[in-house]
Amino acid sequence: MRGTSPGQAAIADIGIRHLRAFLVLAEQLSFTQAAASLYTTQPSLTRSIHRLEEALGARLFHRTTRTVRLSESGVLLREELKELLPRLESALTPRYDIQTLRIGFSWLFPDELLQDTIVGFERAYGVAVDLVRRDERCAGVDEGAVQLAVLRGRQVARGLRTVRIAQEERVAAVARRSPLARRRSLAWSELAEHPMLINTVSGATQLRDWPEEARPGNVTLCGGFAEWLELIAAGHGIGVVPELALRRNPHPGVRFVPLTGAPPMPLWLARPSTGAHPLALRFMERVVGIRQAA
């Protein structure tokens, strides 16, 4: 029987994590960014790359203290893995427990930001991505109803692993018959002079977003997005939402007015800290990679 050569034995020890680490680094050319995308440390990423280079007997990157660039062997391997690795991961992903990746959101899903990622993900892994609206603080990801969620606001619930994918400007929501609806803009600081409506269930703007000494004094709390919209349309107060509402116009009785001086609203992609499905991890990696490459 023929024996196994040292080179064959070294290659046999290479796993998908080594190949994925190489491919992410080859695309981003930054150990710092690649380690963040892979949710690992730079020393661990360096060890994975060294292990792969030793197994292949070739240098894959030329590294200096300031730059990282692919070697000729690295370029060839990158082109091969760009096609092969997604297919391999897809083939090894268990399909009996999930055929659809469910992404939750509370309201107004940012499709322009994530649509290309969704299309590419469905093509690479052969699964459908469903968008599920849940008028809840964590959009169902904390309960296991969805595998991922798009969340807004400064604070995210414990037990979730998040990456910031964007920051959105804020706009004021006012009744169309209100004198404020004729304004071209409103200042963040003047909102405290008006009755405010706060959606405590799924709203991304909360009282803590104002300095304690400048918070609105006349506040009505409500329990969901639909109720919040109807109360504003009826003239019971004004609210604050991301500027996406300007393009979507979700209620005919509400006008959305640009705000000046408002703090940006963070937009997060969230998954469970433990027990996340492998497809959720892969989707989050794709989003992080695209964001860092932009």
pLDDT, residue 108, reads 86
| Residue 214 DSSP symbol | G
User: Whole-model pTM?
Assistant: 0.65
Low-confidence stretches of the chain (pLDDT beneath 70): 1-12, 90-98, 155, 290-294
Specify whether the CB–CB gap between 136 and 201 falls below 8 A: yes
SS3 call for 50: helix
- Positive or negative torsion for Cα 293, 157, 199, 212: negative
Query: Which residues touch 20 (CB under 8 Å, ≥6 apart)?
Result: 38, 85, 89
83: enclosing H helix or E strand: helix 72-92
Specify the pLDDT at position 96: 40
**The pLDDT of residue 6:** 47
